[in-house]
């Protein structure tokens, strides 16, 4: 190839064709293959899907036993954690999807694909990558996407349980609008302290208690400010109150003037007494006559003169 007397090849000779971008048909084929694999195999164990099957908030399907094995494992597998992407931290983060199994379906045990044939209980059409399918939270019954759109009342036709429009989960979504809607749903549920299965998230009560404890252990700034406000209110009340416990200053002044006038009138009445009452009292510096002051015992008996 080189330095042996032969020809030295150039890059143009080695790289004859440059890499070309995939066409739209090729992209669709790749997506179709990935969808078929996701509808038939568990992404954690690569085993065929078989009941019971669960789904996370993104609409991905798993075997329930593989989820339990992942949660019970002491050392988590890095590839499995990458597949889950933090969406599953407990059984409350998944919902068991209840598919209608067609008993007359073909057995695919030899092909390594899913053995069960899942059909819509209303339309009896097979559910898979060729058609859009959804399931409801929290009951988990799966239907074709057209069935849920046609039903006006938000009640499951299988179990008659009510559900919200936001709790319609698309199975293995590919449309950007469906993916964005599911991501927004996860954020709203986290703000409410709920999981994908509409159950209370673990640790939500602990956080609340911890926050209450922090508020209790915080500095007494608020308490001190409240005490100062109370003192100010008391001072204002004392300043506003005047004599006789009357709050309004003008009315207190008038009542005080009236009381003073009444006291003066009472004094004048005492001084301006009746003359008969005055005669009962002796005046200062005037001695009473002895004859008038003597009574019949001390005055004695006297005979009139002839």
pLDDT per residue, tens digit, the chain (306 aa), is 556 667 777 877 777 676 677 788 888 888 889 999 999 999 999 999 998 999 999 999 999 999 999 999 989 999 999 999 999 999 999 999 999 998 765 555 455 677 789 999 999 999 988 889 999 999 999 999 999 888 888 999 999 999 999 999 999 999 999 999 999 999 999 999 999 999 999 876 655 555 555 555 544 444 455 666 666 666 666 555 444 444 456 667 777 777 888 788 777 776 665 555 666 656 555 555 555 555 555 555 555 554
In a domain, 191, yes or no: yes
In a domain, 268, yes or no: no
State how many domains the chain has. 1
Residue 139 sits in which domain range?
Answer: 21-207
In a domain, 302, yes or no: no
Contacts for 165 with CB less than 8 Å, ≥ 6 apart? 154
In a domain, 253, yes or no: no
Q: Let me know: does 83 contact 44? Beta carbons within 8 Å.
A: yes
Helix (H) and strand (E) counts in the chain:
12, 8
In a domain, 280, yes or no: no
Tokens representing 219 are 């500095």
Tokens representing 274 are 């009746």
Residue with tokens 């008993």: 103
In a domain, 293, yes or no: no
Return d(Cα 258, Cα 6) in angstroms, integer: 133
Instruction: Spell out a b/e string for 38-50, using b for 16 or more CB atoms within 10 Å of the CB, else e.
Output: bbbbbbbeeebbe
Contacts for 57 with CB less than 8 Å, ≥ 6 apart? 87, 93, 169, 182, 185, 186, 189, 196
Return d(Cα 282, Cα 278) in angstroms, integer: 8
Return d(Cα 255, Cα 270) in angstroms, integer: 23
Q: What is the DSSP string of 142-163?
A: EEEHHHHHH--S-B-TTT--B-
Contacts for 47 with CB less than 8 Å, ≥ 6 apart? 41, 63, 66
In a domain, 279, yes or no: no
Q: Let me know: does 89 contact 70? Beta carbons within 8 Å.
A: no
Residues in the chain: 306
In a domain, 189, yes or no: yes
């Amino acid at each position: 190839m080189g330095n042996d007397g032969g020809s030295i090849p150039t890059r143009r000779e080695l790289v004859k064709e440059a890499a070309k971008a995939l066409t739209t048909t090729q992209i669709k084929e790749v997506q179709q293959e990935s969808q078929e694999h996701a509808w038939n195999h568990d992404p954690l164990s690569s085993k065929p899907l078989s009941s019971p099957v669960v789904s996370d908030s993104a609409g991905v399907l798993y075997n329930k036993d593989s989820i339990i094995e992942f949660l019970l494992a002491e050392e988590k597998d890095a590839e499995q954690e990458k597949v889950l992407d933090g969406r599953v931290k407990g059984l409350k983060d998944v919902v068991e999807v209840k598919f209608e199994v067609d008993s007359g379906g073909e057995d695919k045990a030899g092909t390594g694909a899913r053995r069960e044939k899942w059909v819509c209980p209303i339309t009896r059409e097979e559910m898979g990558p060729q058609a859009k399918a959804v399931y409801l939270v929290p009951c988990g019954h799966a239907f074709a996407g057209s069935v849920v759109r046609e039903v006006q009342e938000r009640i499951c036709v299988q179990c008659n349980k009510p559900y919200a429009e936001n709790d319609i989960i698309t199975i293995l979504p590919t449309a950007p609008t469906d993916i964005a809607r599911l991501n927004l749903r996860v954020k709203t549920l986290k703000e409410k302290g709920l999981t994908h299965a509409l159950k209370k998230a673990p640790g939500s009560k602990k956080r609340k208690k911890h926050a209450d404890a922090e508020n209790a252990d915080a500095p007494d700034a608020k308490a001190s400010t409240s005490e100062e406000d109370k003192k100010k209110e008391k001072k204002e009340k004392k300043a506003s109150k005047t004599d006789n416990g009357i709050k309004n200053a003008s009315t207190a002044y008038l009542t005080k003037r009236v009381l003073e006038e009444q006291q003066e009138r009472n004094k004048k009445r005492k001084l301006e007494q009746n003359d008969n009452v005055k005669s009962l009292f002796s005046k200062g510096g005037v001695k009473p006559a002895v004859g008038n002051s003597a009574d019949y015992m001390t005055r004695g008996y006297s005979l009139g003169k002839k």
